[in-house]
Structure 1
Amino acid sequence: MTIVSHSHGYIFLKTRKTAGTSVEKWLSGALRPGDWITTAPENLPLPVGIWDTANTVTRFGRLERGLKRVCRYGLGWPPGPRFREHMEAGAVRAAVGEAIWTGYFSFAIERDPWDRIISLWRWRQHARGAAPDFDGFLDAIEADGTDLATRGYSNMALYTIDGRIAVDRIIRYNDLCGGLARLCSDLALPLSPGELPFRKAGHRDSADSPHALTIAQVARIARICAEEIDLLGWDYRKLYGAPQRP
Protein backbone atom coordinates (compact mmCIF):
# COMPACT_ATOMS: atom_id res chain seq x y z
CA MET A 1 0.00 0.00 0.00
CA THR A 2 1.10 3.51 -0.75
CA ILE A 3 -0.40 6.75 0.54
CA VAL A 4 0.44 10.08 -1.05
CA SER A 5 -1.19 12.76 1.07
CA HIS A 6 -1.19 16.09 -0.73
CA SER A 7 -3.10 17.64 2.15
CA HIS A 8 -0.34 16.85 4.66
CA GLY A 9 2.64 16.51 2.31
CA TYR A 10 3.74 12.95 3.03
CA ILE A 11 4.33 9.62 1.30
CA PHE A 12 3.88 6.39 3.26
CA LEU A 13 5.44 3.21 1.87
CA LYS A 14 4.04 0.02 3.34
CA THR A 15 6.53 -2.67 4.38
CA ARG A 16 5.79 -6.29 5.33
CA LYS A 17 5.18 -7.59 8.86
CA THR A 18 5.31 -4.11 10.41
CA ALA A 19 1.65 -3.47 11.32
CA GLY A 20 1.26 -1.81 7.93
CA THR A 21 -2.44 -2.67 7.57
CA SER A 22 -3.14 -1.11 10.96
CA VAL A 23 -1.12 2.00 10.13
CA GLU A 24 -2.82 2.46 6.75
CA LYS A 25 -6.23 2.27 8.41
CA TRP A 26 -5.10 4.71 11.09
CA LEU A 27 -3.65 7.18 8.57
CA SER A 28 -6.81 7.02 6.47
CA GLY A 29 -8.62 8.86 9.26
CA ALA A 30 -6.81 12.07 8.28
CA LEU A 31 -7.03 11.76 4.49
CA ARG A 32 -8.69 14.48 2.46
CA PRO A 33 -10.22 14.58 -1.04
CA GLY A 34 -7.44 14.44 -3.61
CA ASP A 35 -5.08 12.32 -1.51
CA TRP A 36 -3.93 9.14 -3.28
CA ILE A 37 -4.14 5.76 -1.59
CA THR A 38 -4.20 2.09 -2.41
CA THR A 39 -4.51 -0.15 0.64
CA ALA A 40 -4.24 -3.86 1.29
CA PRO A 41 -6.42 -6.44 -0.50
CA GLU A 42 -8.97 -6.22 2.33
CA ASN A 43 -10.37 -3.25 0.36
CA LEU A 44 -10.97 -1.13 3.42
CA PRO A 45 -13.61 1.53 2.79
CA LEU A 46 -11.98 4.95 2.82
CA PRO A 47 -13.26 8.51 3.34
CA VAL A 48 -11.84 9.79 0.04
CA GLY A 49 -13.06 10.53 -3.48
CA ILE A 50 -14.13 7.60 -5.61
CA TRP A 51 -11.23 8.01 -8.06
CA ASP A 52 -8.57 8.65 -5.39
CA THR A 53 -8.26 4.97 -4.48
CA ALA A 54 -8.68 1.49 -5.91
CA ASN A 55 -10.58 0.65 -2.73
CA THR A 56 -14.35 0.86 -2.49
CA VAL A 57 -15.82 4.09 -1.16
CA THR A 58 -19.48 3.45 -1.96
CA ARG A 59 -21.93 0.81 -0.77
CA PHE A 60 -21.91 -0.79 -4.22
CA GLY A 61 -18.57 -2.49 -3.70
CA ARG A 62 -18.61 -5.18 -6.38
CA LEU A 63 -19.90 -2.82 -9.07
CA GLU A 64 -17.47 -0.08 -8.08
CA ARG A 65 -14.44 -2.38 -8.14
CA GLY A 66 -15.38 -3.70 -11.57
CA LEU A 67 -15.93 -0.22 -12.98
CA LYS A 68 -12.61 1.03 -11.61
CA ARG A 69 -10.78 -1.96 -13.03
CA VAL A 70 -12.20 -1.39 -16.50
CA CYS A 71 -11.57 2.37 -16.42
CA ARG A 72 -8.06 2.25 -15.03
CA TYR A 73 -6.61 -0.71 -16.88
CA GLY A 74 -8.77 -0.77 -19.99
CA LEU A 75 -9.28 2.91 -20.74
CA GLY A 76 -6.41 4.47 -18.81
CA TRP A 77 -8.81 6.83 -17.10
CA PRO A 78 -8.64 8.66 -14.77
CA PRO A 79 -5.03 9.64 -15.43
CA GLY A 80 -2.49 9.68 -12.65
CA PRO A 81 -0.19 7.28 -10.82
CA ARG A 82 -1.18 3.71 -10.09
CA PHE A 83 -0.05 2.22 -6.82
CA ARG A 84 0.04 -1.28 -5.44
CA GLU A 85 0.65 -2.84 -2.06
CA HIS A 86 4.32 -3.17 -1.03
CA MET A 87 5.54 -0.97 -3.87
CA GLU A 88 9.29 -0.43 -4.21
CA ALA A 89 10.64 3.03 -3.47
CA GLY A 90 12.01 3.47 -6.98
CA ALA A 91 8.63 2.65 -8.50
CA VAL A 92 6.85 5.08 -6.17
CA ARG A 93 9.31 7.84 -7.07
CA ALA A 94 8.74 7.18 -10.77
CA ALA A 95 4.96 7.19 -10.30
CA VAL A 96 4.67 10.44 -8.35
CA GLY A 97 7.44 12.35 -10.10
CA GLU A 98 10.60 13.92 -8.76
CA ALA A 99 8.95 17.12 -7.51
CA ILE A 100 6.53 15.30 -5.19
CA TRP A 101 9.09 12.68 -4.17
CA THR A 102 11.63 15.28 -3.07
CA GLY A 103 9.09 17.82 -1.79
CA TYR A 104 7.02 15.51 0.41
CA PHE A 105 8.08 13.76 3.62
CA SER A 106 8.48 10.05 2.92
CA PHE A 107 8.54 7.35 5.58
CA ALA A 108 8.32 3.62 6.14
CA ILE A 109 8.34 1.22 9.10
CA GLU A 110 10.91 -1.52 9.64
CA ARG A 111 11.15 -4.39 12.09
CA ASP A 112 14.38 -6.05 13.17
CA PRO A 113 15.06 -9.12 10.99
CA TRP A 114 14.96 -11.70 13.79
CA ASP A 115 11.49 -10.65 14.91
CA ARG A 116 10.23 -10.06 11.36
CA ILE A 117 11.29 -13.43 9.96
CA ILE A 118 9.67 -15.28 12.88
CA SER A 119 6.49 -13.32 12.25
CA LEU A 120 6.60 -14.06 8.51
CA TRP A 121 7.14 -17.78 9.18
CA ARG A 122 4.16 -17.97 11.51
CA TRP A 123 1.99 -15.95 9.15
CA ARG A 124 2.85 -18.32 6.28
CA GLN A 125 1.91 -21.25 8.51
CA HIS A 126 -1.44 -19.63 9.22
CA ALA A 127 -2.05 -18.83 5.55
CA ARG A 128 -1.07 -22.25 4.23
CA GLY A 129 -2.26 -24.43 7.09
CA ALA A 130 1.20 -25.99 7.21
CA ALA A 131 4.78 -24.90 6.70
CA PRO A 132 8.29 -26.21 7.35
CA ASP A 133 9.78 -25.87 10.79
CA PHE A 134 11.73 -22.68 11.39
CA ASP A 135 15.08 -24.11 10.30
CA GLY A 136 13.42 -25.42 7.15
CA PHE A 137 12.02 -21.95 6.52
CA LEU A 138 15.53 -20.48 6.80
CA ASP A 139 16.78 -23.21 4.46
CA ALA A 140 14.19 -22.12 1.89
CA ILE A 141 15.24 -18.47 2.19
CA GLU A 142 18.89 -19.42 1.67
CA ALA A 143 18.04 -21.64 -1.33
CA ASP A 144 17.23 -20.48 -4.84
CA GLY A 145 14.24 -18.33 -3.88
CA THR A 146 11.62 -20.38 -5.73
CA ASP A 147 9.61 -21.17 -2.59
CA LEU A 148 6.77 -18.64 -2.55
CA ALA A 149 6.46 -19.06 1.23
CA THR A 150 9.67 -17.09 1.72
CA ARG A 151 8.83 -14.28 -0.70
CA GLY A 152 9.09 -10.87 0.90
CA TYR A 153 11.38 -11.85 3.76
CA SER A 154 13.27 -8.59 3.18
CA ASN A 155 11.78 -5.09 3.00
CA MET A 156 14.90 -3.33 1.78
CA ALA A 157 13.72 -2.65 -1.77
CA LEU A 158 10.65 -0.90 -0.37
CA TYR A 159 12.63 1.94 1.24
CA THR A 160 15.98 1.92 -0.58
CA ILE A 161 17.12 2.83 -4.07
CA ASP A 162 20.46 1.45 -5.30
CA GLY A 163 21.17 0.13 -1.81
CA ARG A 164 20.75 3.50 -0.10
CA ILE A 165 17.94 4.63 2.16
CA ALA A 166 15.59 6.64 -0.06
CA VAL A 167 12.96 7.76 2.45
CA ASP A 168 13.20 10.62 4.92
CA ARG A 169 12.50 8.49 7.97
CA ILE A 170 12.36 4.83 8.96
CA ILE A 171 10.21 4.27 12.03
CA ARG A 172 11.38 1.29 14.05
CA TYR A 173 8.68 -1.24 14.82
CA ASN A 174 9.96 -1.75 18.38
CA ASP A 175 9.15 1.94 19.00
CA LEU A 176 6.12 2.15 16.73
CA CYS A 177 3.87 4.30 18.91
CA GLY A 178 6.71 6.65 19.81
CA GLY A 179 7.74 6.98 16.17
CA LEU A 180 4.18 7.65 15.04
CA ALA A 181 3.71 10.23 17.80
CA ARG A 182 6.77 12.13 16.55
CA LEU A 183 5.45 11.85 13.01
CA CYS A 184 2.11 13.35 14.04
CA SER A 185 3.91 16.23 15.68
CA ASP A 186 6.20 16.88 12.71
CA LEU A 187 3.41 16.69 10.10
CA ALA A 188 0.64 18.22 12.22
CA LEU A 189 -1.50 15.11 11.76
CA PRO A 190 -4.72 15.17 13.83
CA LEU A 191 -4.17 11.57 14.97
CA SER A 192 -3.15 9.71 18.12
CA PRO A 193 -1.06 6.51 18.05
CA GLY A 194 -3.21 5.27 20.92
CA GLU A 195 -6.00 4.82 18.37
CA LEU A 196 -3.93 2.48 16.20
CA PRO A 197 -5.98 -0.65 15.31
CA PHE A 198 -4.00 -3.87 15.21
CA ARG A 199 -5.98 -5.58 12.47
CA LYS A 200 -3.91 -8.73 12.01
CA ALA A 201 -3.10 -9.59 15.61
CA GLY A 202 -3.56 -13.16 16.72
CA HIS A 203 -1.61 -15.16 14.11
CA ARG A 204 1.47 -15.55 16.29
CA ASP A 205 2.06 -18.05 19.09
CA SER A 206 3.07 -16.31 22.30
CA ALA A 207 6.02 -18.69 22.60
CA ASP A 208 7.51 -17.43 19.34
CA SER A 209 9.95 -14.72 20.28
CA PRO A 210 13.43 -13.70 19.18
CA HIS A 211 14.48 -14.59 22.73
CA ALA A 212 13.73 -18.24 21.88
CA LEU A 213 16.09 -18.40 18.89
CA THR A 214 19.15 -20.61 19.12
CA ILE A 215 22.66 -19.23 18.72
CA ALA A 216 22.82 -20.81 15.26
CA GLN A 217 19.46 -19.34 14.20
CA VAL A 218 20.47 -15.86 15.34
CA ALA A 219 23.67 -16.16 13.30
CA ARG A 220 21.85 -17.50 10.22
CA ILE A 221 19.40 -14.61 10.18
CA ALA A 222 22.31 -12.21 10.64
CA ARG A 223 23.93 -13.69 7.51
CA ILE A 224 20.69 -13.68 5.50
CA CYS A 225 19.94 -10.06 6.39
CA ALA A 226 23.50 -8.77 6.65
CA GLU A 227 22.92 -5.86 4.27
CA GLU A 228 19.96 -4.40 6.15
CA ILE A 229 21.62 -5.04 9.53
CA ASP A 230 24.61 -3.02 8.36
CA LEU A 231 22.38 -0.32 6.86
CA LEU A 232 20.14 0.17 9.90
CA GLY A 233 22.50 -0.88 12.69
CA TRP A 234 20.40 -3.73 14.06
CA ASP A 235 22.08 -5.59 16.95
CA TYR A 236 20.47 -8.74 18.34
CA ARG A 237 22.21 -8.47 21.72
CA LYS A 238 21.15 -4.86 22.24
CA LEU A 239 17.56 -5.78 21.42
CA TYR A 240 17.24 -9.14 23.17
CA GLY A 241 20.43 -9.91 25.09
CA ALA A 242 22.65 -12.91 24.47
CA PRO A 243 20.95 -15.95 22.88
CA GLN A 244 19.88 -18.34 25.62
CA ARG A 245 19.62 -21.54 23.59
CA PRO A 246 22.63 -23.40 22.16
Structure 2
Amino acid sequence: MLISHEYQFIFIKTRKTAGTSIEIALSRYLGPMDVITPITPQDELIRAGMGITPRNYMYPAHTLPEPSEMNPEGMETMLNKLTIDRRFYNHCAAQDIRANVGEKIWQTYTKFCFERNPWDRVISEYRFMQKTKPEDYGQVTLEQFIELNLYSPNYFLYTIQDQPVCDYYGRFEFLQSDLASICQKIGIPYDGWLPNAKGASQSHRKSAGELMTPQMLDHIAERCLPEIDLFGYEQPIAA
Protein backbone atom coordinates (compact mmCIF):
# COMPACT_ATOMS: atom_id res chain seq x y z
CA MET A 1 0.00 0.00 0.00
CA LEU A 2 1.02 3.62 -0.44
CA ILE A 3 0.23 6.92 1.26
CA SER A 4 1.28 10.19 -0.35
CA HIS A 5 1.06 13.41 1.63
CA GLU A 6 2.03 15.58 -1.33
CA TYR A 7 -0.68 14.21 -3.62
CA GLN A 8 -2.93 13.29 -0.70
CA PHE A 9 -3.87 9.79 -1.76
CA ILE A 10 -4.08 6.34 -0.18
CA PHE A 11 -3.63 3.33 -2.42
CA ILE A 12 -5.28 0.25 -0.90
CA LYS A 13 -3.61 -2.81 -2.35
CA THR A 14 -5.94 -5.68 -3.20
CA ARG A 15 -4.83 -9.21 -4.12
CA LYS A 16 -4.00 -10.35 -7.66
CA THR A 17 -4.95 -7.06 -9.29
CA ALA A 18 -1.45 -5.92 -10.41
CA GLY A 19 -1.13 -4.12 -7.08
CA THR A 20 2.63 -4.67 -6.89
CA SER A 21 3.13 -3.22 -10.36
CA ILE A 22 1.03 -0.19 -9.41
CA GLU A 23 3.00 0.24 -6.18
CA ILE A 24 6.34 0.19 -7.99
CA ALA A 25 5.16 2.65 -10.62
CA LEU A 26 3.63 5.13 -8.16
CA SER A 27 6.45 4.82 -5.62
CA ARG A 28 8.47 7.05 -7.95
CA TYR A 29 6.25 9.99 -6.99
CA LEU A 30 6.44 9.56 -3.23
CA GLY A 31 8.62 11.64 -0.91
CA PRO A 32 10.68 10.84 2.18
CA MET A 33 7.74 11.31 4.59
CA ASP A 34 5.31 9.15 2.60
CA VAL A 35 4.43 5.51 3.31
CA ILE A 36 5.74 2.69 1.12
CA THR A 37 5.16 -0.83 2.44
CA PRO A 38 7.54 -3.70 1.56
CA ILE A 39 6.90 -6.11 -1.29
CA THR A 40 8.74 -9.31 -2.24
CA PRO A 41 12.56 -9.25 -2.42
CA GLN A 42 12.46 -9.87 -6.17
CA ASP A 43 10.11 -6.95 -6.75
CA GLU A 44 12.02 -4.71 -4.33
CA LEU A 45 14.99 -5.09 -6.68
CA ILE A 46 13.05 -3.12 -9.28
CA ARG A 47 12.45 -0.27 -6.84
CA ALA A 48 15.98 -0.45 -5.49
CA GLY A 49 17.25 0.09 -9.03
CA MET A 50 15.43 3.43 -8.94
CA GLY A 51 16.77 4.31 -5.50
CA ILE A 52 13.46 3.60 -3.75
CA THR A 53 13.09 1.59 -0.55
CA PRO A 54 10.17 0.87 1.83
CA ARG A 55 9.66 3.65 4.36
CA ASN A 56 7.53 4.92 7.22
CA TYR A 57 5.45 1.76 7.56
CA MET A 58 6.72 1.01 11.07
CA TYR A 59 6.90 3.11 14.20
CA PRO A 60 9.25 2.88 17.19
CA ALA A 61 7.94 2.84 20.74
CA HIS A 62 9.37 2.78 24.24
CA THR A 63 7.97 0.44 26.87
CA LEU A 64 7.83 1.61 30.47
CA PRO A 65 9.90 -0.43 32.92
CA GLU A 66 8.31 -2.54 35.63
CA PRO A 67 7.49 -0.59 38.85
CA SER A 68 10.51 -2.13 40.57
CA GLU A 69 12.76 -0.71 37.83
CA MET A 70 11.48 2.85 37.99
CA ASN A 71 14.87 4.37 38.66
CA PRO A 72 17.50 6.22 36.61
CA GLU A 73 19.02 2.93 35.45
CA GLY A 74 15.63 1.65 34.38
CA MET A 75 14.92 4.88 32.49
CA GLU A 76 18.26 4.63 30.73
CA THR A 77 17.49 1.07 29.70
CA MET A 78 14.12 2.18 28.35
CA LEU A 79 15.61 5.03 26.34
CA ASN A 80 18.23 2.75 24.83
CA LYS A 81 15.70 0.12 23.78
CA LEU A 82 13.03 0.53 21.13
CA THR A 83 10.17 -1.78 20.23
CA ILE A 84 9.43 -1.61 16.51
CA ASP A 85 5.80 -2.18 15.59
CA ARG A 86 4.39 -2.53 12.09
CA ARG A 87 1.96 0.27 11.39
CA PHE A 88 1.07 -0.50 7.77
CA TYR A 89 1.55 -3.66 5.72
CA ASN A 90 1.28 -4.93 2.17
CA HIS A 91 -2.45 -5.74 1.96
CA CYS A 92 -3.48 -3.41 4.74
CA ALA A 93 -7.26 -3.30 5.17
CA ALA A 94 -9.12 0.00 5.06
CA GLN A 95 -10.15 -0.15 8.71
CA ASP A 96 -6.52 -0.60 9.80
CA ILE A 97 -5.35 2.25 7.60
CA ARG A 98 -8.00 4.57 9.01
CA ALA A 99 -7.06 3.63 12.56
CA ASN A 100 -3.42 4.50 11.92
CA VAL A 101 -3.69 7.68 9.84
CA GLY A 102 -6.45 9.31 11.87
CA GLU A 103 -9.80 10.73 10.79
CA LYS A 104 -8.47 13.97 9.29
CA ILE A 105 -6.22 12.27 6.74
CA TRP A 106 -8.70 9.47 6.16
CA GLN A 107 -11.52 11.89 5.38
CA THR A 108 -9.50 14.29 3.22
CA TYR A 109 -7.17 12.03 1.23
CA THR A 110 -8.31 10.34 -1.98
CA LYS A 111 -8.58 6.57 -1.59
CA PHE A 112 -8.43 4.17 -4.51
CA CYS A 113 -7.91 0.50 -5.29
CA PHE A 114 -8.33 -2.04 -8.09
CA GLU A 115 -10.64 -5.02 -8.37
CA ARG A 116 -10.76 -7.99 -10.74
CA ASN A 117 -13.17 -10.55 -12.10
CA PRO A 118 -13.22 -12.96 -9.12
CA TRP A 119 -13.12 -16.15 -11.19
CA ASP A 120 -9.98 -15.03 -13.02
CA ARG A 121 -8.51 -13.71 -9.79
CA VAL A 122 -8.94 -17.06 -8.05
CA ILE A 123 -7.04 -18.79 -10.87
CA SER A 124 -4.27 -16.23 -10.61
CA GLU A 125 -4.05 -16.62 -6.85
CA TYR A 126 -4.03 -20.42 -7.17
CA ARG A 127 -1.13 -20.35 -9.65
CA PHE A 128 0.73 -17.85 -7.47
CA MET A 129 0.39 -19.94 -4.32
CA GLN A 130 1.49 -23.08 -6.15
CA LYS A 131 4.58 -21.26 -7.37
CA THR A 132 5.55 -19.46 -4.16
CA LYS A 133 4.48 -22.07 -1.59
CA PRO A 134 4.82 -25.46 -3.30
CA GLU A 135 5.23 -27.20 0.04
CA ASP A 136 1.69 -26.14 1.00
CA TYR A 137 -0.11 -25.87 -2.34
CA GLY A 138 1.87 -28.02 -4.78
CA GLN A 139 -0.52 -30.97 -4.43
CA VAL A 140 -3.69 -28.91 -4.02
CA THR A 141 -6.04 -29.01 -7.00
CA LEU A 142 -7.91 -25.95 -8.21
CA GLU A 143 -11.14 -27.59 -7.09
CA GLN A 144 -9.79 -28.10 -3.57
CA PHE A 145 -8.42 -24.54 -3.52
CA ILE A 146 -11.94 -23.27 -4.17
CA GLU A 147 -13.96 -25.72 -2.08
CA LEU A 148 -11.71 -25.25 0.97
CA ASN A 149 -11.90 -21.44 0.70
CA LEU A 150 -8.13 -21.13 0.33
CA TYR A 151 -8.50 -18.04 -1.84
CA SER A 152 -8.90 -14.52 -0.46
CA PRO A 153 -11.75 -12.20 -1.51
CA ASN A 154 -10.78 -8.55 -1.79
CA TYR A 155 -14.04 -6.96 -0.68
CA PHE A 156 -13.13 -6.63 3.00
CA LEU A 157 -9.92 -4.76 2.11
CA TYR A 158 -11.72 -1.72 0.69
CA THR A 159 -14.80 -1.75 2.89
CA ILE A 160 -15.53 -0.82 6.49
CA GLN A 161 -18.59 -2.35 8.14
CA ASP A 162 -19.52 -3.77 4.72
CA GLN A 163 -19.51 -0.31 3.09
CA PRO A 164 -17.09 0.52 0.22
CA VAL A 165 -14.86 3.42 1.24
CA CYS A 166 -12.78 4.25 -1.85
CA ASP A 167 -13.28 7.33 -3.98
CA TYR A 168 -12.12 5.59 -7.16
CA TYR A 169 -12.11 1.95 -8.23
CA GLY A 170 -10.07 0.70 -11.13
CA ARG A 171 -10.52 -2.62 -12.85
CA PHE A 172 -7.72 -5.01 -13.59
CA GLU A 173 -9.35 -5.64 -16.96
CA PHE A 174 -8.72 -1.98 -17.88
CA LEU A 175 -5.55 -1.56 -15.85
CA GLN A 176 -3.61 0.99 -17.89
CA SER A 177 -6.50 3.25 -18.83
CA ASP A 178 -8.10 3.17 -15.37
CA LEU A 179 -4.80 3.86 -13.60
CA ALA A 180 -4.08 6.76 -15.94
CA SER A 181 -7.56 8.16 -15.34
CA ILE A 182 -7.28 7.89 -11.55
CA CYS A 183 -3.83 9.50 -11.54
CA GLN A 184 -5.12 12.37 -13.68
CA LYS A 185 -7.97 12.99 -11.24
CA ILE A 186 -5.61 12.95 -8.26
CA GLY A 187 -2.93 15.05 -9.95
CA ILE A 188 -0.18 12.42 -10.12
CA PRO A 189 2.03 13.03 -13.19
CA TYR A 190 1.82 9.37 -14.20
CA ASP A 191 3.83 8.62 -17.37
CA GLY A 192 2.20 5.30 -18.25
CA TRP A 193 5.10 3.08 -17.14
CA LEU A 194 3.99 -0.08 -15.38
CA PRO A 195 6.40 -2.94 -14.63
CA ASN A 196 5.28 -6.53 -15.07
CA ALA A 197 5.80 -7.50 -11.43
CA LYS A 198 4.68 -11.06 -10.65
CA GLY A 199 3.63 -11.30 -14.28
CA ALA A 200 4.31 -15.00 -14.51
CA SER A 201 1.71 -15.76 -11.86
CA GLN A 202 -0.94 -13.61 -13.51
CA SER A 203 -0.97 -15.35 -16.85
CA HIS A 204 -3.00 -18.44 -17.65
CA ARG A 205 -4.06 -19.65 -21.05
CA LYS A 206 -7.41 -21.21 -20.24
CA SER A 207 -10.44 -19.26 -19.09
CA ALA A 208 -12.33 -19.83 -15.86
CA GLY A 209 -15.12 -21.48 -17.82
CA GLU A 210 -12.65 -24.01 -19.20
CA LEU A 211 -10.94 -24.72 -15.89
CA MET A 212 -13.90 -24.83 -13.52
CA THR A 213 -16.98 -26.96 -13.11
CA PRO A 214 -20.39 -25.34 -12.61
CA GLN A 215 -20.09 -26.11 -8.89
CA MET A 216 -16.73 -24.33 -8.66
CA LEU A 217 -18.08 -21.32 -10.53
CA ASP A 218 -21.12 -21.21 -8.25
CA HIS A 219 -18.94 -21.45 -5.13
CA ILE A 220 -16.96 -18.35 -6.13
CA ALA A 221 -20.15 -16.55 -7.15
CA GLU A 222 -21.62 -17.11 -3.70
CA ARG A 223 -18.52 -16.22 -1.70
CA CYS A 224 -17.64 -13.16 -3.81
CA LEU A 225 -21.20 -11.92 -4.27
CA PRO A 226 -20.57 -8.44 -2.75
CA GLU A 227 -17.87 -7.49 -5.25
CA ILE A 228 -19.75 -9.17 -8.10
CA ASP A 229 -22.77 -7.02 -7.32
CA LEU A 230 -20.68 -3.88 -6.83
CA PHE A 231 -18.85 -4.16 -10.15
CA GLY A 232 -21.36 -6.08 -12.22
CA TYR A 233 -19.16 -9.05 -13.06
CA GLU A 234 -20.89 -11.85 -14.95
CA GLN A 235 -20.41 -15.48 -14.03
CA PRO A 236 -18.65 -17.52 -16.73
CA ILE A 237 -20.28 -20.59 -18.23
CA ALA A 238 -18.50 -23.92 -17.80
CA ALA A 239 -17.25 -25.29 -21.08
TM range (shorter): 0.7 to 0.9
One of 127, 138, 145 as aligned partner of 2:146: 138
Identity fraction in percent: 34
- How far did residue 204 of structure 1 move? 5.2
The 5 A counterparts of 1:1-246 are 2-42=1-41, 43=44, 44-45=47-48, 47=51, 52=56, 75=82, 82-129=87-134, 130-141=138-149, 150=150, 153-193=152-192, 195-203=193-201, 206-212=204-210, 213-236=212-235, 243-245=237-239
Aligned residue for 2:28, secondary structure, equals helix
- How far did residue 31 of structure 1 move? 1.1
Aligned residue for 1:109, secondary structure, equals strand
Q: Which amino acid aligns with 2:200?
A: G
User: d(CA) in 2 for partners of 1:206 and 1:98?
Assistant: 41
Q: Deviations over 1:5-62 (max 9, x none)?
A: 00111000111111111110000111123212213142443756986356xxxxxxxx
- How far did residue 131 of structure 1 move? 3.3
Structure 2: which 5+ residue stretches go unaligned? 59-80
User: d(CA) in 2 for partners of 1:99 and 1:120?
Assistant: 35
Q: Which amino acid aligns with 1:174?
A: E
Q: Which amino acid aligns with 2:56?
A: D
Cα RMSD of the aligned pairs, angstroms, is 2.4
Q: 1:196–1:136: structure 2 CA closer, same or farther, 3 Å change rule?
A: same
Q: Is the 8 A contact 2:147 2:216 kept in 1?
A: no
User: d(CA) in 1 for partners of 2:109 and 2:167?
Assistant: 9
User: d(CA) in 1 for partners of 2:130 and 2:55?
Assistant: 36
Q: Who wins on radius of gyration, i.e. which is larger? A: 2
Q: Deviations over 1:99-155 (max 9, x none)?
A: 1011010011111110111111111111233132211111211xxxxxxxx25x111
- How far did residue 190 of structure 1 move? 1.6
Q: Which amino acid aligns with 2:10?
A: I
- How far did residue 184 of structure 1 move? 1.9
User: Matched residue pairs, number?
Assistant: 208
Structure 1: which 5+ residue stretches go unaligned? 55-73, 142-149, 238-242
Give the TM-score taking structure 1 as reference length.
Answer: 0.76
Aligned residue for 1:203, secondary structure, equals helix
User: d(CA) in 1 for partners of 2:208 and 2:191?
Assistant: 29
Give the TM-score taking structure 2 as reference length.
Answer: 0.78
Q: 1:17–1:75: structure 2 CA closer, same or farther, 3 Å change rule?
A: same
User: d(CA) in 2 for partners of 1:51 and 1:215?
Assistant: 45
- How far did residue 211 of structure 1 move? 3.8
Aligned residue for 1:234, secondary structure, equals coil
- How far did residue 88 of structure 1 move? 0.9
